[in-house]
């Protein structure tokens, strides 16, 4: 068993790596934004984290929620989504809808994922991540759900 400080250090390092991925992802997507939270707004450490990102148009307000972790990085506007869990639910629903397209080798209508040659292989992976995200967002009202409370298929 690891000493407690080592676990905290590992979690902090994982969160920092996710924060860097969020920053790069938003840059690659051309999203105009302000500051990214110093830490996740919600997370299942080592699996997924949700980051509050300041609006580029309304400083001091959350403009975007970004999901990052063991799966695709994705984001949603905070306009109709007020909490990190709502953001996870919205992204999980979008991923679940996309799985049918990917399974047929088609591009989902509202986002890009992988190359045309990899779509069929990505469908079951995205489906397992979507199911885990939906389960985690719906878990009992714990601040951070236990990573093993929702199974993740490889």
- Find the helix packing angle between 119-138 and 84-103, rounded to 10°: 150
Calculate the average pLDDT of the chain: 87
Sign of CA dihedral 68, 72, 78, 81: negative
Q: What is the domain count for the chain?
A: 1
Mean pLDDT of 103-132: 91
The residues facing 49 across adjacent strands are 43, 68
- The DSSP secondary-structure symbol of 70 reads S
Per-residue pLDDT of 42-89, as tens digits, reads 998 899 999 999 999 999 999 999 999 998 999 999 999 999 999 999
For residues 68 and 48, is the Cβ–Cβ distance under 8 A? yes
The pLDDT value given to residue 150: 55
Asked if residue 108 is part of any domain, the answer here is yes
Coil vs helix vs strand at 3? coil
Average of per-residue pLDDT across 13-27: 96
Query: Can you give the pTM of this predicted structure?
Result: 0.84
pLDDT for 116 beyond 80: yes
pLDDT band at 2 (very low <50, low <70, confident <90, very high): very low
Q: Which domain holds residue 101?
A: 4-149
At 123, the pLDDT band (50, 70, 90 cuts) reads: very high
Residues 6+ apart with CB under 8 A from 39: 15, 19
Burial (Cβ within 10 Å: 0-12, 13-18, ≥19) of residue 137? buried
In a domain, 14, yes or no: yes
The answer as to whether 154 is a domain residue is: no
């Amino acid at each position: 068993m690891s000493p407690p400080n080592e676990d905290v250090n590992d979690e902090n390092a994982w969160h920092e790596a996710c924060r860097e991925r969020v920053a790069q992802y938003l840059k690659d997507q051309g999203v105009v934004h302000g500051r990214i939270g110093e830490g996740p707004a919600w997370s299942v450490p080592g699996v997924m984290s949700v980051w509050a990102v300041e609006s580029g148009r309304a400083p001091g307000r959350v403009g975007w929620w970004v999901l990052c972790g063991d799966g695709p990085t994705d984001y949603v506007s905070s306009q109709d989504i007020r909490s990190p869990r709502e953001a996870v639910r919205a992204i999980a629903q979008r991923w679940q809808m996309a799985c049918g397209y990917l399974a047929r080798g088609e591009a989902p209508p509202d986002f890009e994922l992988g190359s045309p040659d990899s779509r069929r292989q990505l469908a079951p992976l995205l489906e397992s991540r979507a199911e885990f995200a939906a389960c985690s967002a719906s878990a009992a009202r714990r601040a951070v759900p236990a990573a093993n409370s929702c199974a993740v298929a490889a």
